[in-house]
Chains A and B, each alone.
Chain A
Amino acid sequence: MTVTETCLPSAFAEYEKFAQKWCLATEPERWAARLATPMPEIRQFYDAFTPRFEEAIDYCDKFPLDDVPEDALNLLHLVYSMIMVSMAVEVFGTQKPADSADAVMHRVSAPVP
């Protein structure tokens, strides 16, 4: 994918700049991105997406679950990343859950998309 290519529905074009980093299809990728991204950068994405979070969900929800077009699917993955970083921003204020120390937990399966 080149940087000029668009991934998201045109109504959400303002988030193209986050797509490359945060349109991630799986939880292990989203978890890794959260842990690898400093809080200020996480917050940039969170703050930018917050005003249209609900609208983005409603947009994706217009499609049947087994037939989500590619651009909406990318938007859905962005929604999933928003959920992931909401934990860091709203709940803990840190990338990692408080007191989780060296504990690791792998999501080994989940439905698609």
Chain B
Amino acid sequence: MAKWPKPAEGSWTEHYPQLGTGPVSFRDSISPEFYELEREAVFKRAWLNVARVEELPRVGSYLTKEIDAAKTSVIVVKGRDQQIRAFYNICRHRGNKLVWNDFPNEEVKGTCRQFTCKYHGWRYDLKGDLTFVQQEGEFFGLDSAQYGLKPVNCDIWNGFIFINFDPEPRQTLREFLGPMITALDDYPFELMTERYEFAAQNNSNWKIFADAFQEYYHVPSLHSQQVPSEVRQPNQTFECGHFQIDGPHRLVSTAGTRRWLMAPEYMYPVERVTRSGLVGPWRTPETHQSAGLNPGGIEPWGITNFQIFPNLEILIYHGWYLLYRYWPTSHNTHKFEAYNAFHPARTVHERIEHEVASVVLKEFALQDAGMLGGTQAALEYDVVDDFPLSDQEILVRHLHKVAVDWVEEYENERRPVGV
């Protein structure tokens, strides 16, 4: 008994015929060889979100990102002209890592007037130009104009800072994001600056972890505790209202009853007392609803979960959002970054509501992380490789297909002509 209408083809999956409906392979998530290709084909070619503009508030604000998948470190910095730029984190003199504090492999942030290399004191300004060389006269015809920091392509969409390691990206950031994502051009992310940030090292391929956040079919089973046991239905189902695919990106929307309209027994005492919980604060400041927020016209709309290829997810609720990034560190591990972002609390009560939502996020994300270590281990038995996916799991099907497609395209480009 379908609660939500499906496309004319009879299913979401068949609405996108390129996806097929057969069982899928997850070998892309257990193969070290595939991961090596993915680094080149995906992580060195796609636009990658590394931060938001609010993280670089002033001239000279900088941060570094360690991007293992690209085997590199990047400096992102705001210049005197207010422009945000990215550079490889390496001194042009002897190759020392330029910006770090206590340990070279730890990310740092701060504010500076210039970058000074710890090794021989070479200095670079905020635009990456080499401005000082110790004992310059000892060098041989050194043209300092040729020894600025090596830039990384950097662009901004609606406050999200993206970088691209391809020296000549195939698409601009806007082209890459496409119409489904840029329909959020006017969504006021910049108002939601109160952040609760999380980090984890997870024992699963980055896509296997992303999969747990792009289908809700697992929710009644793995996260049964999201509903109090007294009212829990043994055969509870979950059906999403709308799925959409645009290029390499995906979204899913679900309906959501306003919490204060629900019978009290459907909530935990802590939720009733604090008026916050699983889906965040019950009431949030009025927030502009972009056209792109609810493209399926779901009523009552609950959340839309935007999966921006390859490794960014933005989950928008009423008046707050949640962001995940999955940074692979090997074929079967990744670094997980997450944050909740709210309108800044105006009262202690609102701050308490934010705390509740942030505590709950961790509880259920830990369930996903704990279980997916087991998924990864079992996939690595490598004894089964035809996994059936339901229509509710269309986005899982799509992510793996896109990753494989990008790798195939990369390999095809490298294959000698005529062979």
- A83-B355, A110-B197 are known contacts. Are A99 and B370 too (CB-CB below 8 A)? yes
Is A68's CB under 8 angstroms from B198's CB? Answer: no
Contacts of B142 in A (CB 8 A): none
The answer to the question of B83 belonging to the interface, with a C-beta cut-off of 8 Å to chain A, is no
Is A91's CB under 8 angstroms from B363's CB? Answer: yes
The answer to the question of A87 belonging to the interface, with a C-beta cut-off of 8 Å to chain B, is yes
Is A111's CB under 8 angstroms from B200's CB? Answer: no
Is B369's CB under 8 angstroms from A100's CB? Answer: yes
Contacts of B366 in A (CB 8 A): 96-97, 100, 103-105
Distance in Å from the Cβ of A88 to the closest Cβ of chain B?
9
The answer to the question of A37 belonging to the interface, with a C-beta cut-off of 8 Å to chain B, is no
Is B348's CB under 8 angstroms from A63's CB? Answer: yes
Is B370's CB under 8 angstroms from A92's CB? Answer: no
Distance in Å from the Cβ of B179 to the closest Cβ of chain A?
34
The answer to the question of B270 belonging to the interface, with a C-beta cut-off of 8 Å to chain A, is yes
Question: In which size bucket is the chain B interface?
Answer: 35 or more
Is A84's CB under 8 angstroms from B225's CB? Answer: no
Is A65's CB under 8 angstroms from B373's CB? Answer: no
Question: In which size bucket is the chain A interface?
Answer: 35 or more
Interface string of B327-346 (1 = CB under 8 A from A): 00000000010100000111
Contacts of A76 in B (CB 8 A): 348, 352
Contacts of A106 in B (CB 8 A): 198-200
Contacts of B371 in A (CB 8 A): 99, 101
The answer to the question of A6 belonging to the interface, with a C-beta cut-off of 8 Å to chain B, is no
In the complex the two chains form, what is the Cα distance from A76 to B348 in whole Å?
A: 9
Is B347's CB under 8 angstroms from A65's CB? Answer: yes
Contacts of A110 in B (CB 8 A): 195-197, 355, 358
The answer to the question of A53 belonging to the interface, with a C-beta cut-off of 8 Å to chain B, is yes
Is B200's CB under 8 angstroms from A61's CB? Answer: no
- A61-B348, A86-B268 are known contacts. Are A103 and B373 too (CB-CB below 8 A)? yes
Q: Which residue of B lies closest to A88 (CB)?
A: B363
Contacts of B304 in A (CB 8 A): none
13 more A-B residue pairs beyond the given contacts A98-B367, A105-B338, with a C-beta to C-beta distance below 8 A: A60-B352, A61-B347, A76-B352, A87-B363, A91-B268, A91-B363, A100-B369, A101-B374, A102-B203, A106-B198, A108-B198, A109-B196, A110-B197
Q: Which residues of B contact A (CB under 8 A)?
A: 194-203, 222, 225, 228, 268-270, 273-274, 336, 338, 344-349, 351-352, 354-356, 358-360, 362-367, 369-371, 373-374
Q: Which residues of A contact B (CB under 8 A)?
A: 27, 50, 53-54, 57, 60-61, 63, 65, 68, 76, 79-80, 82-84, 86-87, 90-92, 96-111, 113
